């Protein structure tokens, strides 16, 4: 049978880009064997017959010097014929195709991407030029075993075999230069390094030095080379950072080290242990609705389910790890999880731990925190709407671009902002636009730049929505600078206020004329003091949808209300002074050009671009 196209690509890339890290194949195969045993233990809760009288789950690793093979065996759930074809010939994860289309051919970059994707079973082909999988699913007859064989080129063969013992044996036929793996010392060293956290015993045949043959000789006895106890149950002080990291790779299927973790035993109304990790890099399917999310749930050390998304809110969907409850029933289902009070308290407790972990990182490891924010900040922002009870803590974790730094990097916290507020300023100002550059160059910022007042620059998809939930921080209102009726009174002194009133009065006739010409296109026309360099801008009412949000809704094919902005003009600008003298068609051209250019500056589409160009050319000609 042929491999799915993406599998072929993955195999090719894996062999070439992960070669410098080739011993990870063993970690991946032991990790799968351990998952298979977890699954059997779980299915056996309802159906003890699956254990076929043998409940001692274990993993065996052996090698054969003559045949040049390594074999990894487990007595877990096994694979049926169909499962072998589906799981070892295709990649059944949503978004796989798109993921592969991003690969560039640059080894180093692609190695990182593959890491995000997870390496898994196919990593065996880094060291093997032929892999044989012999398996029998627990509970089926001995003559319904399956053998899967492939040379990792483009196809695999599959046949039915007789297999006495339940579970899976995977045999790697090593490539020509890989003889270093044919040693007890080498294999056990790799297993200790990468798989010590596996909770089942990983056994190897004992070897002793035979002085007559002057070489190591295999004994009948098998011994565990790992500690074989669930890592999260051990005392924190007995666990090394390396062990925490390797365990992370096992539970997350990630290739890279985690950024941080938190490990706690919680006692009280509800008892559980949590070991939660923050990844260093967003998985390729973070934005995919069907993507992997959630943590592994165990009950009293028995694996219950992967991706138990009920245990954490969606805005923390990047968290990976394990929660082991002492209270939940073993036969807990996803439906029960949704309603359980124990789950609710686990969830609340876990949110608090993750937020503390992030606060700690922000405080003590700002570089790590910057990495976190760049990867997952947009997800965390969803918490403003999803988890109002933790709004204050989430807000403190947010980082923004701002006019103070004028670079796209998001590294300004609200505390930074507040510490730089001007005397008399009691609001936090922000602007939302389609892109960082549009935000940074928004005409609405002119007066703020002139007065040296900082404005937060928001340009991510989630921002407009976020700001609709996030209106106040530490008693200070958050105010959009692009909304109408922007009250800058707090920033003006007495003389300025007086001037404003006089100006508004003297421009009344012009405002009336503009309203008359533009009456079908704008809601209102006002004089503003917020502009410095631009002659005009458009704004919307405080409670109206912003043009930016309207565009997003339109792009998503949604019906939107008719949009009529308010035009605001800058009385200090030479063009405004000049058009007071214009009459008739010329004045109408000016009025329309003012409105259209204000819309363009906002990033909006104008209704009739050809008319805009015609009018502008007419005006240009006159001034030549």
Q: How far is the CB of 29 from Mg ion (least distance, A)?
A: 8
Q: How far is the CB of 7 from ligand ADP (least distance, A)?
A: 10
State which residue, 71 or 345, has the beta carbon closest to ligand ADP.
71
Q: How far is the CB of 306 from ligand ADP (least distance, A)?
A: 9
**217-256: contacts with ligand ADP (CB under 6 A):** 253
CA dist., res. 138 & res. 51, Å (int): 7
What letter does residue 155 receive in the DSSP assignment? B
Stretch that binds ligand ADP, among 71-79, 105-113, 550-558, 601-609 (CB under 6 A): 71-79
State which residue, 120 or 321, has the beta carbon closest to Mg ion.
120
Distance of CA 71 to the CA centre of its chain: 36
Q: Burial of 396 by CB count in 10 Å (0-12 exposed, 13-18 middle, 19+ buried)?
A: middle
State which residue, 17 or 32, has the beta carbon closest to ligand ADP.
32
CA dist., res. 324 & res. 346, Å (int): 10
For ligand ADP, the binding residue among 17, 60, 89, 120 (CB under 6 A) is 120
Pairing state between β 472-473 and 476-480: antiparallel
Binding map of ligand ADP across residues 3-32, x = CB under 6 A, - = no contact:
-------------------------x---x
Contact between 195 and ligand ADP (CB under 6 A)?
no
CA dist., res. 173 & res. 310, Å (int): 43
**Residue 301 falls in which region: left (phi positive, over 0), alpha (psi -120 to 50) or beta:** left
State which residue, 255 or 587, has the beta carbon closest to ligand ADP.
255
First to last CA, the chain: 75
What letter does residue 400 receive in the DSSP assignment? B
Contact 512, 457 (CB under 8 A): no
Phi, psi of 60 (to 5 degrees): -120, 135
Q: How far is the CB of 178 from Mg ion (least distance, A)?
A: 21
State which residue, 24 or 594, has the beta carbon closest to Mg ion.
24
What is the arrangement of strands in the sheet containing 476-480, beginning at the earlier edge strand? 401-402, 456-458, 427-432, 476-480, 472-473
Stretch that binds ligand ADP, among 75-83, 443-451, 501-509, 567-575 (CB under 6 A): 75-83
Q: How far is the CB of 134 from ligand ADP (least distance, A)?
A: 11
Q: How far is the CB of 93 from ligand ADP (least distance, A)?
A: 8
Contact between 121 and ligand ADP (CB under 6 A)?
yes
Q: Which residues, other chains included, contact 83 with Cβ-Cβ below 8 Å and sequence gap of 6+?
A: 137
Contact between 168 and ligand ADP (CB under 6 A)?
yes
State which residue, 88 or 316, has the beta carbon closest to ligand ADP.
88
CA dist., res. 325 & res. 305, Å (int): 12
Contact between 120 and Mg ion (CB under 5 A)?
yes
What's the token pair of residue 119? Answer: 């390496």
DSSP H helices in 566-608: 574-579, 584-601
The tokens 């990844």 sit on which residue? Answer: 279
Contact between 536 and ligand ADP (CB under 6 A)?
no
Stretch that binds Mg ion, among 32-40, 219-227, 426-434, 446-454 (CB under 5 A): 32-40
Could you tell me which of 361, 371, 432, 448 has the C-alpha nearest to residue 396?
Answer: 361
For ligand ADP, the binding residue among 7, 18, 36, 113 (CB under 6 A) is 36
Contact 29, 124 (CB under 8 A): yes
Contact 219, 207 (CB under 8 A): yes
The β-bridge partners of 63 are 70
Q: How far is the CB of 325 from ligand ADP (least distance, A)?
A: 24
Q: Residue positions in the annotated binding site for ATP?
A: 28, 32, 74, 87, 94-95, 116-121, 168, 334
For ligand ADP, the binding residue among 10, 15, 33, 456 (CB under 6 A) is 33
Q: How far is the CB of 78 from ligand ADP (least distance, A)?
A: 6
137 binds, among Mg ion, ligand ADP, none (CB under 5 to 8 A by kind): none
Collapsed DSSP state (helix, strand, coil) of residue 543: coil
Q: Burial of 474 by CB count in 10 Å (0-12 exposed, 13-18 middle, 19+ buried)?
A: exposed
Q: Which residues, other chains included, contact 160 with Cβ-Cβ below 8 Å and sequence gap of 6+?
A: 81, 143, 144, 145, 146, 147
Contact between 118 and ligand ADP (CB under 6 A)?
yes
Size of the site for Mg ion (CB under 5 A): 2
Q: How far is the CB of 549 from ligand ADP (least distance, A)?
A: 39
State which residue, 168 or 403, has the beta carbon closest to ligand ADP.
168
Contact between 32 and Mg ion (CB under 5 A)?
yes
State which residue, 120 or 313, has the beta carbon closest to Mg ion.
120
What's the token pair of residue 523? Answer: 């809601």
State which residue, 120 or 443, has the beta carbon closest to Mg ion.
120
Stretch that binds ligand ADP, among 44-52, 70-78, 314-322, 422-430 (CB under 6 A): 70-78
Stretch that binds Mg ion, among 119-127, 209-217, 243-251, 449-457 (CB under 5 A): 119-127
Q: Which residues, other chains included, contact 73 with Cβ-Cβ below 8 Å and sequence gap of 6+?
A: 33, 59, 60, 61, 62, 167, 168, 169, 170
Residues at the interface with ligand ADP (CB under 6 A): 28, 32-33, 36, 74, 76-79, 87-88, 118, 120-121, 168, 253
Residues that bind Mg ion (CB under 5 A): 32, 120
């Amino acid at each position: 049978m042929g491999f799915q196209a993406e599998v072929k690509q993955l195999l090719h890339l894996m062999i070439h880009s992960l070669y410098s890290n080739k011993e990870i194949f063993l970690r991946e195969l032991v990790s799968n064997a351990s998952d298979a045993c977890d699954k059997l233990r779980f299915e056996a809760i309802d159906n003890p017959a699956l254990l076929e009288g043998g409940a001692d789950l274990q993993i065996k690793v052996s090698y054969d010097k003559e045949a040049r093979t390594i074999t990894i065996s487990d007595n877990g759930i096994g694979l049926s014929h169909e499962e072998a074809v589906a799981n070892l010939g295709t990649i059944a994860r949503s978004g796989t195709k798109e993921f592969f289309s991003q690969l560039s051919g640059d080894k180093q970059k692609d190695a990182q991407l593959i890491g995000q994707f997870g390496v898994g079973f196919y990593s065996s082909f880094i060291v093997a030029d032929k892999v044989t999988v012999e398996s029998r699913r627990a509970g089926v007859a001995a003559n319904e075993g399956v053998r899967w064989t492939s040379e990792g080129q483009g196809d695999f063969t599959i046949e039915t075999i007789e297999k006495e013992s339940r579970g899976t044996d995977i045999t790697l036929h090593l490539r020509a230069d890989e003889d270093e793996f044919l040693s007890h010392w080498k294999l056990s060293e790799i297993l200790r390094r990468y798989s010590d956290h596996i909770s089942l015993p990983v056994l190897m045949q004992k070897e002793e030095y035979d002085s007559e043959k002057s070489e190591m000789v295999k004994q009948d006895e098998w011994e565990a080379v790992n500690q074989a106890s669930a890592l999260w149950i051990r005392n924190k002080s007995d666990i090394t950072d390396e062990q925490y990291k390797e365990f992370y790779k096992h539970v997350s299927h990630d290739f890279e080290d985690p950024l941080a973790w938190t490990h706690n035993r919680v006692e009280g109304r509800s008892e559980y242990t949590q070991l939660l990790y923050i990844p260093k890099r967003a998985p390729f399917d973070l934005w995919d609705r069907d993507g992997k999310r959630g943590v592994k749930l165990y009950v009293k050390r028995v694996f219950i389910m992967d991706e138990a998304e009920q245990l954490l809110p969606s805005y923390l969907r990047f968290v990976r790890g394990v929660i082991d409850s002492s209270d939940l029933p073993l036969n807990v289902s996803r439906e029960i999880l949704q309603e359980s009070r124990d789950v609710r308290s686990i969830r609340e407790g876990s949110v608090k731990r993750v937020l503390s972990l992030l606060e700690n990182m922000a405080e003590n490891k700002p570089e790590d925190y910057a990495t976190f924010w760049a990867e997952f900040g947009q997800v965390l922002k969803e918490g403003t709407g999803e988890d109002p009870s933790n709004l204050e803590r989430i807000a403190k974790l947010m980082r923004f671009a701002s006019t103070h730094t004028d670079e796209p990097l998001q590294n300004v916290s609200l505390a930074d902002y507040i510490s730089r507020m001007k005397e008399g300023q009691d609001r936090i100002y922000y602007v939302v636009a389609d892109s960082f550059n549009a935000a940074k160059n928004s005409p609405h910022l002119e007066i703020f730049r002139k007065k040296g007042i900082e404005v937060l620059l928001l340009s991510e998809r989630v921002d407009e929505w976020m700001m609709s939930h996030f209106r106040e921080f530490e008693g200070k209102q958050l105010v959009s600078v692009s909304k109408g009726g922007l009250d800058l009174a707090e920033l003006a002194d007495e003389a300025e206020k007086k001037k404003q009133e006089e100006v508004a009065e003297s421009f009344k006739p012009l405002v009336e004329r503009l309203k008359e010409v533009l009456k079908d296109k704008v809601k209102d026309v006002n004089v503003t003091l917020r502009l410095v360099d631009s002659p005009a801008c458009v704004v919307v009412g405080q409670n109206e949808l912003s043009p930016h949000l309207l565009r997003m809704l339109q792009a998503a094919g949604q019906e939107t209300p008719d949009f009529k902005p308010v035009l605001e003009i800058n009385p200090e600008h030479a063009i405004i002074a000049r058009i007071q003298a214009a009459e008739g068609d010329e004045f109408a051209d000016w009025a329309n050009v003012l409105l259209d250019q204000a819309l363009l500056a906002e990033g909006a589409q104008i209704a009739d671009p050809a008319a805009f160009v015609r009018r502008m050319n007419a005006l240009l000609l006159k001034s030549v």
